[in-house]
Amino acid sequence: MGYHPPDPKQPRKTAELNPTRIYVDADACPVKDEIYRVAARHGLPVTVVAGNFIRVPQDPLIERVAAGGGMDAADDWIAERAGPGDIVITADIPLADRCVKAGAEVIAPNGKPFTEQSIGMTLAVRNLMTDLRSSGEITGGPRGFTPRDRSTFLSALDQTIRRIQRQRAELSAQKQS
C-alpha cells in the first residue's frame, strides 16, 4: 500500500480519515532531529514546514514544504491542515492558538503543551509583552534552550503520540461494537 503524502492543496481536518501527522514549524525549531527519531519509532509521517527551503533527512515519512516568503506563510500552511489527531510542534503562540482551536495537539520545543485551558492566558501574556516592548520597555528575551528542555520535549511528544493512539483505538473499538 505504501505511504502517499497528502495533497498540499487539500486541508486536513478529520481525524478519522487520516493517520496522525506531525507538523513542524521548522524555521527556528531546535528539536527537529528528536522529532524525526520519535516519529520513525512510531511510524508517523512528519511534515516540516518553513518559509523557504530547509534540509530534511531522506525518508519517505518526512515531507518538506517551502510555504513561501510571506509574513505568516508557514504558519498559515500548518493551520489550514492541522486538525484532530495531528501534532503541531511550534513555539509560535498565535499559531499554537489556531491549531489548538482546530483540535490538534500542540507542543512547544521545550515540551510545554499548549491546551484549550492554557492557550488563552499564554496568548494574553505574549500580547502584553509585545505591547510593553513596542512602548520601549526592556522585557528581556526568552531563556536559553537547555538539555532538560530537550528531554522534557521528548517525553511530551512520546506521551502525546501514545495518548492519540489510545484514543483512536478506543474510538475504533466503539465503532466495531
How confident is the model over 119-152, as pLDDT tens digits? 666 665 655 666 666 776 666 666 678 899 999 9
Nearest CA to 20 out of 141, 131, 105, 121 is that of 105
For 130, the grid coordinates are 509585545
Asked if 105 and 164 touch (Cβ cutoff 8 Å), the reply is yes
* Higher pLDDT among residues 12 and 163, named by residue: 163
Residue 13 pLDDT > 60: no
Strand (E) positions, the chain? 22-25, 46-50, 62-66, 87-89, 105-107, 113-114
pLDDT of 29 reads 92
Question: pLDDT band at 2, cuts 50/70/90?
Answer: very low
CA–CA gap between residue 51 and residue 75 (Å, rounded):
9
Question: Could you tell me which residues are beta bridge partners of residue 48?
Answer: 24, 64
Between 28 and 3, the more confident residue is 28
Quote the pLDDT of residue 128.
62
Q: For residue 123, what pLDDT is reported?
A: 62
What pLDDT digit, counting tens, does each position of 37-71 carry? 999 999 999 999 998 888 999 999 999 999 987 88
Name beta bridge partners: 105: 87
Question: Where does residue 140 rank: exposed (0-12), middle (13-18), buried (19+ CB within 10 A)?
Answer: exposed
What would the pLDDT profile of 75-124 be if each residue is shown by its tens digit? 999 999 999 999 999 998 899 999 999 999 999 999 999 987 776 666 65
Higher-scoring residue by pLDDT: 147, 175 = 147
Strands across the sheet with 87-89, in order? 62-66, 46-50, 22-25, 87-89, 105-107, 113-114
